[in-house]
Amino acid sequence: MTALTLSTAAAPGLRADAIVIGVAKGAGPRSGDLVVAPGAEAVDKAYDGKLAGVLETLGASGAEGELTKLPAPAGFKAPLVVAVGLGAEPGAKDADAGYDAEALRKAAGVAARALAGSKKAAFALPVDGAGAIGAIAEGVLLGAYSFDVYKENGQAKNGARSKNGKAPLAEAALLGGKPRDAAHKGAVARAVAVTEELNRARDLINTPPNDLTPAIFAGIAQAAAKEHGIKVQVLDDKALAKGGYGGILGVGGGSAATPRLVKLSYTHPKAEKHLAYVGKGITYDSGGISLKPAGHNETMKCDMSGAAAVFAAVVAAARLGLEVNVTGWLALAENMPSGSAVRPGDVLRMYSGKTVEVLNTDAEGRLVLADALWAASLENPDAIVDVATLTGAMMLALGSRTFGVMANDDAFRSAVHEAAEEVGEPAWPMPLPEHLRKGMESQVADIANMGERMGGGLVAGLFLREFVGEDITWAHLDIAGPAFNEGGPFGYTPKGGTGSAVRTLVRLAELTAAGDLG
């Protein structure tokens, strides 16, 4: 990963490949003009105060995501200036307002990605405190991410330059950062811990399904748990059969790669609260006997994104030493058609004892989650949050960048939504309309795994609710849209696995540790 340093150096004397500055769309009296953001004063001065005009000539507007390169002014050690758009200048209404953390995160990410192949860049973005330092650090570390281990001469973990891809930016100096300031150092340390785990979640999501079976995923979780002092327990197919986990076994039954349930327990001696995170970990979703048509299964290696997010969040909580107990449940299975696969029409006896008529084997996520939610419930945590690439319907409703938040408690749903927005993860509250429960009534079992087509994301949420212990606060994040980016990279989000929900889960753990939640 890119090495980060806090630097008080002045831009002109810095030995670097590039200096990154921020530009914005002017507000108030400067409305309509491009403005150079604070932090870039030295660069502007070397252009005789005419940098904004130079950039406008080059076509810059200050829009979010925009990147303009220009030669550095005479006398600068670095040869290149990279101007990134921050969107609207703050302060039209409130003169004291600084740049929004998410604008900084995105701009830093755009610059870090564009500087792939470079050794060192100095980031001279507007810094008004530790919050801005943390946001820029996150943006750099997330934006510099690349996945090319499967390319010829793919870059090794040591960051060597590869034939096909450029190595990620090796070093970033954050100007305006104070190397001896505890808050600044803490912000960088937090950003490093969270983004390292988030980027590992991206790696897992991007890893092709022939190389990431449930057993392999469980092994990776075991190794990480050992490294970070997290207790880990893995149930293999034999243990799942003995325990009566009919949902996970049913879904995993069609694959030669047998299912696993992984339990990760991070505990803190001073913790007063206990959170349970449950992740959908379908390492490949072919649809099973209700096979998905071509065009719908090419990206289904991403169907373990929920489990990857839970895994990353538990490890990040441990690395940050948060004063809260966090249990992560990874429900891992591969959904494949075969002679041993679950059939449409089969009835499964779930871990909770309820029976489910499987009407569509492609609605498999709710089956593995049902067992894991019940297992989580038996420990009676203060709250459960599950994360899943659960329904195409949620993508139709909210598009590909926003996840849906459902819950059995309005206040908790709002808290989760707020935490998501706070860390820069677009989310939106969705209802659980009672009338949709009727569509899942079964002739033979307690419930069917399918209901009305309309509102399919909410139907799935209602199904999950049946497997949450009575009186346990629960929220469900349907990340089917944002988990995997099929379009081009944007902000600090790469193509492919995004690590959606990791930062929301970490924030929820922090808020719970601080006593600010529940």
Binder of residue 392, out of Mn ion, Zn ion, ligand BES, none (CB less than 5 to 8 A by kind): ligand BES
Q: Which does 393 bind (CB under 5 to 8 A by kind): Mn ion, ligand BES, Zn ion, none?
A: ligand BES
Nearer to Zn ion, 365 or 456 (CB): 365
303 labelled as ligand-binding? yes
Site string for ligand BES, 351-390 (x = CB under 6 A): ---------x-xxxx-----------------------xx
Query: How many residues can be counted in the chain?
Result: 518
> Segment contacting Mn ion (CB under 5 A): 112-120, 147-155, 265-273, 362-370?
362-370
Residue 389 CB, shortest distance to ligand BES, in Å, is: 4
Q: Which residue has the tokens 């659980």?
A: 432
Please choose which of ligand BES, Zn ion, Mn ion, none residue 102 contacts, taking the beta carbon within 5 to 8 angstroms, the exact cut-off set by kind.
Answer: none
Asked whether residue 237 is marked as a ligand-binding residue, the answer is: no
Q: Could you say whether residue 334 binds Zn ion (CB under 5 A)? A: no
DSSP-derived 3-state class of residue 350: coil
211 labeled binding residue: no
Q: Are strands 34-36 and 18-25 parallel, antiparallel or unpaired?
A: antiparallel
- E-strand spans in 314-381? 325-335, 347-349, 355-357
Nearer to Zn ion, 133 or 302 (CB): 302
Q: Is 303 in the site for Zn ion (CB under 5 A)?
A: yes
Pairing of strands 3-7, 427-429: unpaired
Residue 100 in 3-state DSSP? coil
CB of 414 to ligand BES, least distance (A): 25
Is 280 within any annotated ligand binding site? yes
Q: Residue 21 pairs with which residues in a beta bridge?
A: 83, 124
3-state percent helix, strand, coil for the chain, nearest multiple of 5: 35, 20, 45
Measured between alpha carbons, how far is 509 from 228 in angstroms, rounded to an integer? Answer: 17
> Residue of minimal CB distance from Zn ion?
285
Determine which one of 185, 292, 465, 495 is catalytic: 292
Q: How far is CA 165 from CA 110, 195, 502, in A?
A: 17, 21, 27
H-run or E-run covering 133: helix 130-143
How far apart are CB 457 and Zn ion at their closest, in Å? 13
Question: Residue from 64, 285, 323, 334 that binds Zn ion (CB under 5 A)?
Answer: 285
In the list 102, 138, 197, 285, the residue contacting Mn ion (rule: CB under 5 A) is 285
Q: Which of 140, 419, 430, 480 binds ligand BES (CB under 6 A)?
A: 480
Q: Is 366 a catalytic residue?
A: yes
Q: For the CA atoms of 181, 185, 187, 191, what is the dihedral angle to 10 degrees? A: 160
Contact (CB, 8 A) for 313 and 506: yes
Per residue, what are the HEC states of 407-450?
ECCHHHHHHHHHHHHHCCCCEEECCCCHHHHHHHCCCCCCEECC
Binding site for ligand BES (CB under 6 A): 285, 303, 360, 362-365, 389-393, 450, 456, 480
Catalytic residue numbers read 292, 366
Binding site for Mn ion (CB under 5 A): 285, 362, 364
